Structures are given as structure tokens and as C-alpha cells.
A and B are shown apart, each in its own frame.
Chain A
Amino acid sequence: MKTWIAFSSILMKDMRSYYLKPPNISWGLIFPIAWTLMFFLRSPVAVEVRDLLPGVMALSILFGTTSMLAVTITFERKSRSFERLLLAPISFNLLMLAKTSGAIMFGVVNAFVPVIFASFLTDLSGINWLMILGSVLLVAITSTFLGLFIAVSVSQVFEAQTFSNFFRFPMLFLCGLFIPLADLPSFLRPVSYALPLTYGADILKTAINQNGIISIPLSFIALLCFSVFLFAYSIYNVNRKWIL
């Protein structure tokens, strides 16, 4: 009971202090719109919204979660308020789960913003919503834990931003979001399969357009494995680097 009180308080505080702040809500709205418009305006041929949807959803989650978590944790570390959490009688695992839960929810909500816009522009019938929900959740978890991995690897807020981009921008091109994996040079394909977003985007493609190329169970297992690895490595780093 006591642990649950601490967990929910950390989560609620983060929601109020970070995720429900107007600049972040607008970030969650503007970012997916910008991505969608960018593809419409730059494309010489008519673009099918439904084809874009998996990539825009995956990107909305990735950019929303990694930015928020990496920056907020680094900021709290810098202001020493994170120390208050480390001194509380709750395990590091639970503490980190509480800190990441807000970002995961933020990512899930972000993912559905482009869906809402798409619903005004195209027919969304025939979509496997359950599969979408599972995929969005796992992509949000993996991306959030990637943000955690970044947060525990840097000490300054600007480093968190730079390091986030080091992972995120290659993912734009290598995860099959807008460029099919089959069109990538063969030497880059192993890198694609080493990135978690490849599996998340592929599930979304299957769920929305039935054109994914990786088996669904394999993609879910891969995302779970990435999540466990990133979380465990982050906890290891917290123990090693923050508890001196």
C-alpha cells in the first residue's frame, strides 16, 4: 500500500509538472500534424494518408517520449530534486517505473493524435485496433526506456537532447517508417533490425495496411526484449553512476 502511494504520487506529480503543461500538450498536437503536412506538401504525387499513418504514429511516440523523459530526469538530477526520490524508501525499479509511466502515457496519447486527424481525411475501416493498441503501448514503453537509457548516460540537459537525436534521426530512415526496409542498401538492413522501432512500425503497418514484413509474434517479442534490456541497463547505470 505504502509503495503504491509513493508510485502514484510520483506519477501524478510528473503529470502535473510536465506532461499536462500547455507547451507539452501543444508539442503532442503540433508534432504529428507537422509530420503529416510535411509529407503531403513535399510529395509530387498524391500521398495516401493511410500509408503514412504507421510512420507518423511511431515517430510521434518516439519523439514525444524520449525527449520528455531524458530532459525531465536530467533536469531533476541537475536541480538535485531527483535525490529526494533516491532517498525515499522505494526500490529503484519501482521509482524508475513511476518516473517512466507518465512518459509512456504521454507517448500513447501522442500516437493517437495523428489517428484523429487521419479519421477526417481517410477511411479507417478494417484496422486491427487491438493490435494497434498493443503495438503503440510497446513502442511507447521501449521509446520511454530509451529516453531513460539516455537520461542515465548524460549529466546535462543539452547532452540529453543531443544524445536523443543521435538515436532518433537514424531511426527515421532505418526503421522502415517511410522508406521500406526492402529499399534500404543491404549493408544497412542489419542495423535496421537492431533498432526497436523497426518492429513497432512493422506491427503498425500490418495492423493498418496489412503490409508488414516481420511476423507479429516475433515483433512483439523483440519489443519486449528491447524494453527489458533498456530498463535493466538503465537501472544498472543508476546504481553505478548515481549511487557513488
Chain B
Amino acid sequence: MKIIEVENLKKNFNEFTAVDGVNFYINQGEIFGFLGPNGAGKTTTINMLTGMAKITEGKVKLMGEDYTGNAKKAQAMMGIVPDESNLYEELSGWENLVFCGALYGMKKKLSEERAAQLLKEFGLEEAASKSFKAYSKGMKRKLAIAAGIIHQPEILFLDEPTTGIDVAFARQIRNLIVDLHSKGTTIFLTTHYIEEAERLCERLAFIVQGKIVREGTVEEMMKEIQGENIVNFTLGKDFTLRDDFTKIEEEFRSHFPDFNLKMGTKNSGLRIHSPSNFTLFPFVQFFEERGLPVFEAKIIRPSLEEVFVKVTGIELQKMQSEQNQKGKKGQKGGGSRS
């Protein structure tokens, strides 16, 4: 059963089109990933679905019922965890959860029972009476997720849940997402971490400049690069400047017209993509003749990252560093919206 159906959704801010006619659906009980760089339209899409932004054009259905322009009707069925905390700094973790339950009309006793249960499940029992402002970034994110599900919504919107928090908390949050999913919660997840999306999501959509450029299951997406051979070369020179790469790429193309050369995920790496098997020696020789000693050559198992780069043409490393900058700004109280 489709829990959410989005048809030709569009959002204009004056002359600027932030979301440009996107279409997608989310099946009940699945984790749907929404991937894209900073400014692609991920948060704007969530805002339109949850009633925080007006819809310029298009239609949104929840459980088959059209709620375009009347999000209040649907908000009781939604849990929303924004990219930045929106809980009350002066309230304790416990008070925040009980208050959030009451906002959804939960009676005090029920709200308190559920708050106690969630604090336990999320490992926040000991911090329950602490003021929210004393929480670490990771704890705040966990409590925000708990607040998002206190009323047991039909669908949970998670906007960049692991951005800007340390590795250990990010792992805990991923585990919480898996756990929620196993209990039947439908999750709409926006992220810029491809490996996170690959690990968690059943279906995905890539959004770039307000348009969905690819949508499907992880398996369907992986088919796009099946049979492709990828070798990553670690070189003795950093490719931090785009000019370096452009020059090498031009020469590479004239020498090896059947192969594709791409920037690797690390600064010192280049990748060769080919539809067939190939020997390494001519490539090692090519690089070394240009003063680029090869330290390592490694066969790469094709991942969703390759699909993303292939489909969007966006360098993943650049996208993630931009997004991390955004996360850091958010931690300092700033932060922008995409």
C-alpha cells in the first residue's frame, strides 16, 4: 500500500524553483531515501509534505487521501524530525517528550508511559531529568527522534539524522532507524551519506537542482553499473585542484578512448571505469610518465556511490564536505536549508 504519493510537486520562491515537478511514492513500512547535495530541494520537499511550506503546484496524497493545501489534516499521522533540533532548551528530556505527546492530544498518563518507554529504548534514561540544553548533539538528535515518534505516527520524516554528530552516535541512530523499521514504521529519510542510504533504504530517489533524476530500489539502481569494472589508483600527488584532473583526463581520453577516468573518493585517487576486464600496466605507465607514481591499484566493488556519481555527475566528496560544513554551521546555531 502506498502511504504517500507525490504528483508533480513544485515549489517556487519568487523566480527561483526549489522543487521542480517531482513525482514519487512511499510504500507502507519501507524506508525511502531522498539523496541529493546541499540545496537540491530535500528539505523543501519535506517542508511541503509536512505543511511547513506551501505547495506551488502538484498533489500530495496520504493513505490515498489528497491533503494538498491542508496539511493540518495529515499532521496527526506524521512524525517529523528536522535537520536541526526544535525541542525546548529549557525543558528536560522527559518534559519535552511529554509535551510533544500532549501536542498530539495524548493524555498525560499515556504520554508519560510512552516517554518512559522511549527514553529507555533510546538509552536516554539517565539524562531524562537533565535540561535539553545540557544534552550533547547526538543525544539531542536521539531525543528529537523519540519526540517524532511519541504519538506512533504512520510515517516518520527524518531530515539528515546523522549529519554533524560523531560516529558512535551516528551508528546508534542508524540502529534506531533499523529498529523502528522492523517495528513497521514507514520512514522518509533524507541524507547525503550514500553508504547510509544503501545500508538502510529499500527504495531511493536522487534529487538534483529540484528534480528527481533517478528513483527505484537499491537493486534496480545497482543494475545500472552491473558488469562495470572499476579500479581505484592511489597516486603520489593530490588532486585537490580541478585543473589537474581536467588536464590528465584530456590526455587519458586520447590514449584510452574506451575507458573513463574519474576522480576518486580521496584527493590522491583516480578511478578507471571500463565495461570489460583490463590489464593495469598501460595505465600505471601512463600515470608514471606524467610524474604520478602509483602507490596502489585496487579493484572496487560497485556501490550505490558509483550510481550516484554516474547519474548526477556530482562528486560525492565535494557534496559531503559541503553538507558537513552545513552541519557544523547548524551546531553553532546557524545552518541553512536545502
> A-side interface residues toward B, CB under 8 Å?
1-3, 5-6, 8-10, 13, 17, 79-81, 83-91, 243-244
Contacts and interface: CB of A to CB of B under 8 A. Distances in A.
A9 B102 CA distance: 6
A91 B104 contact: no
Given A89-B72, A243-B54, A83 B105 contact: no
A177 B86 CA distance: 42
Contacts of B50: 87
B53 A81 contact: no
Contacts of A3: 105
Point out which of B99, B104, B105 has the most chain A C-beta atoms below 10 A from its C-beta: B105
B99 A9 contact: yes
A9 B103 contact: yes
A148 B40 CA distance: 34
What 7 A-B pairs have minimum CB-CB distances, sorted nearest first?
A2-B105, A9-B102, A88-B103, A89-B76, A89-B75, A80-B86, A83-B86
B57 to A, nearest CB: 15
Contacts of A10: 103
A243 B103 contact: no
A230 B189 CA distance: 40
Given A89-B72, A243-B54, A6 B102 contact: yes
10 contacts: A9-B102, A17-B91, A79-B86, A80-B84, A83-B86, A87-B75, A89-B72, A89-B105, A243-B54, A244-B52
Interface string B18-56: 000000000000000000000000000001001111100
A81 B86 contact: yes
Contacts, number: 73
B106 A5 contact: yes
Contacts of B102: 5-6, 8-9
A17 B103 contact: no
| Chain A interface, >50% SS class | helix
| Chain B interface, >50% SS class | loop
A87 B52 contact: yes
Interface string B136-150: 000000000001000
B89 A79 contact: yes
Contacts of B103: 6, 9-10, 84-85, 88-90
A5 B85 contact: no
A235 to B, nearest CB: 13
Given A13-B91, A84-B100, 14 more contacts: A1-B105, A3-B105, A5-B105, A9-B99, A13-B99, A17-B91, A80-B84, A81-B86, A84-B147, A86-B51, A87-B50, A87-B78, A88-B103, A90-B72
B87 interface: yes
Contacts of A81: 86-89
A87 B49 CA distance: 11
Nearest to B106: A5
A195 B160 CA distance: 48
Interface string B61-79: 0000000000011011010
B89 A88 contact: no
A53 to B, nearest CB: 36
A50 to B, nearest CB: 41
Nearest to B89: A79
